[in-house]
Structure 1
Amino acid sequence: MSASFLAPIAALLYLAAAGLHVMHLFQHRQGLSRGVAVLGGLALLCHSVVAIQGVTGAGGLSLGFYKISALMFLAINLVCVLLMLKRPLQNLLVVLFPLSAMSVLVSTFAPETAAITTDLPGGLLLHIGSSILAYAVLTLAAAQSALVAAQDYQLRHRHTRGIVQILPPLQLMETMLFELLLVGVILLSVAIVTGFLFVDDFFAQHLVHKTTLTLLAWILFSVLLWGHYKLGWRSQVAVRLTLAGFAALMLAFFGSKLVLELVLNRG
């Protein structure tokens, strides 16, 4: 089936799953219901087809600003589902599913902004793959940090209803945050190393700003992990550094692509 047919279906399924999950949260139901799992699973299947069709074609890869969005959110959702087998991260789906709905529609119906890339060596594919996985895990970490911030604020002000009743205990929420950060930093380290090894001439390819911001994000995340395990940093410090690192990472990826492809027309 074509992406133009499946994208609206995927978007509707995502929105239905998100709406059902929100309704269950208001009813204080724990875990992920079967209805949300079924709707979300069908949405992921449609999303997978849309993302693959969007970035492949004409014997190469299309990694333009709009096309890559569906692939990024597919990776984020798949990582989230995988981690949900061990950790209660289902509350993140309230944010991820609507954003995923938007990503499949944008990827399918927005114009192409980059040329098809052919003959990519294995080392460069490793760099691209590790970069996407790193962005996926660290996006989950940023979303998790926002929940930690809201929960910590509610507890500090002695509010015992609302989000406090929905989320797991704060200590578990922080543990999950630092687990995500650790995995994300490892993947980001692989992406950085493979980038230096397999990407030629950062200046000629207009990658210097992307590289600088990515390294800044890596430093912020690494300092946070060191501070947590050595000095016991938690809560608000963790939230601030996580969101700062995520902002740098998103500017590195989407900011640089936006300027190059949409402003300077350099696909």
Structure 2
Amino acid sequence: MIVTVGPWWTVAPALGAAVGYAALAAGAARLGRRATTGIMLATLVLHGLALAVAFGTTPVRFGFAPTLSITAWLVLAIYAVETRLYPQLGTRWTLAGLGVPAVLLALLFPGTAYPTLASPWLPLHWALGFASYGLLGTAVAHGWLMQRTETAIRRGTIQPSPLPLLALERLTFRFVTGAFVLLTLTLAAGWTFTRLLQPTAGWITHKTVFTALSWAVLAVLLWGRWRWGWRGRTAVRMLYVAGALLLLAYVGSHFVLEVILRRGA
């Protein structure tokens, strides 16, 4: 995969989004709530525009970096909406720092070109995968905050989130449940499209194996939560494992293909 940068109209929104994320990560603590909200909204619009321009080009390009960029946009967009619904979460925009490398990597590594789509339904499979990444990424971020809050309570120090621990825990598992449902649909769609388009092709690949493992970890976590009330460190560690496995499923495998082996999917 050769590093490439597109024309200025594709680069400008992405660079603007990267600057906005960096400003939020570095200076959100010194900004007022209104200023932070305004900057975040403008940054999300710029990032969304950059994604729309990237995926609106012909031929369509897809790879590990665009997937990371979309995941970052979804996680931060969900968090932006959530802070409006739950003001107790505060404006802890350190998380916005993750958007900077995600946006810049998508500029440098736009992915593999797909001159023709094997099926008009393929974008649906991609959309389900994006949504799975976004919801699981949001769940991981909440799990991290939940772990920090629990540690602060044990030590008697200032909590990183004024939101009660039990409320934060409920939010986290809502995202876990949503990610599990979407991941189930993603696996079902992938199997269906493969059977329809390539009946003789093997469905079991490194991507499906890691995705299925992530799905299994989430299934065990939700079962343990329902049956035995799992919470705390056990739940968060399992959530981290599920997130890491899903990251390896597509982003990790395509990073190896595109950057290390320098070839497409």
Is 1:256 matched up with 2:253?
yes
Provide the C-alpha distance between the structure 1 equivalents of 2:68 and 2:53, rounded to a whole number of angstroms. Answer: 13
Secondary structure of the corresponding residue to residue 240 of structure 1:
helix
| 8 A Cα contact 1:18 1:36, kept in partner | no
**Which residue does 1:2 correspond to in 2?**
9
| 4+ residue segments displaced more than 6 Å | none
Secondary structure of the corresponding residue to residue 224 of structure 2:
helix
**Which residue does 2:213 correspond to in 1?**
216
- Amino acid of the residue matched to residue 161 of structure 2? I
Is 1:52 matched up with 2:38?
no
What is the aligned counterpart of 1:238 among 235, 241, 244?
235
Secondary structure of the corresponding residue to residue 112 of structure 2:
coil
Scaled by the length of structure 1, the TM-score of the pair is 0.85
**Which residue does 1:149 correspond to in 2?**
147
Q: Please list every run of 5 or more consecutive structure 1 residues that lacks an aligned counterpart in the other structure.
A: 25-31
CA drift at 1:53: 1.8
**Which residue does 2:122 correspond to in 1?**
124
Provide the C-alpha distance between the structure 2 equivalents of 1:65 and 1:203, rounded to a whole number of angstroms. Answer: 27
CA change 1:237–1:133 in 2 (3 A) is: same
Aligned identity (percent) is 26
| 8 A Cα contact 1:87 1:176, kept in partner | no
Secondary structure of the corresponding residue to residue 62 of structure 1:
strand
RMSD: 2.5
Alignment of 1:110-189 (within 5 A): 110-157=108-155, 159-161=156-158, 164=159, 166-189=161-184
Query: Residue by residue, what CA displacement relative to the aligned partner does 1:40-91 show, whole Å, maximum 9, x if unpaired?
Result: 1111111111112223312x32112333332232222233334445445555
Q: Please list every run of 5 or more consecutive structure 2 residues that lacks an aligned counterpart in the other structure.
A: 1-7
CA change 1:242–1:50 in 2 (3 A) is: same
Provide the C-alpha distance between the structure 1 equivalents of 2:182 and 2:51, rounded to a whole number of angstroms. Answer: 22
**Which residue does 1:28 correspond to in 2?**
none
| 8 A Cα contact 1:7 1:47, kept in partner | yes
Secondary structure of the corresponding residue to residue 45 of structure 2:
helix
Is 1:17 matched up with 2:24?
yes
Provide the C-alpha distance between the structure 1 equivalents of 2:243 and 2:199, rounded to a whole number of angstroms. Answer: 22
CA change 1:136–1:203 in 2 (3 A) is: farther
**Which residue does 2:104 correspond to in 1?**
105
Scaled by the length of structure 2, the TM-score of the pair is 0.86
CA drift at 1:5: 1.9
Greater shift after overlay, 9-18 or 216-225?
A: 9-18
Higher relative contact order (CA 8 A, sep 6+): 2
Secondary structure of the corresponding residue to residue 115 of structure 1:
strand
Provide the C-alpha distance between the structure 2 equivalents of 1:83 and 1:202, rounded to a whole number of angstroms. Answer: 43
- Amino acid of the residue matched to residue 216 of structure 2? I
| 8 A Cα contact 1:189 1:218, kept in partner | yes
Provide the C-alpha distance between the structure 2 equivalents of 1:202 and 1:212, rounded to a whole number of angstroms. Answer: 19
| 8 A Cα contact 1:70 1:100, kept in partner | yes
CA change 1:102–1:254 in 2 (3 A) is: same
| 8 A Cα contact 1:50 1:70, kept in partner | no
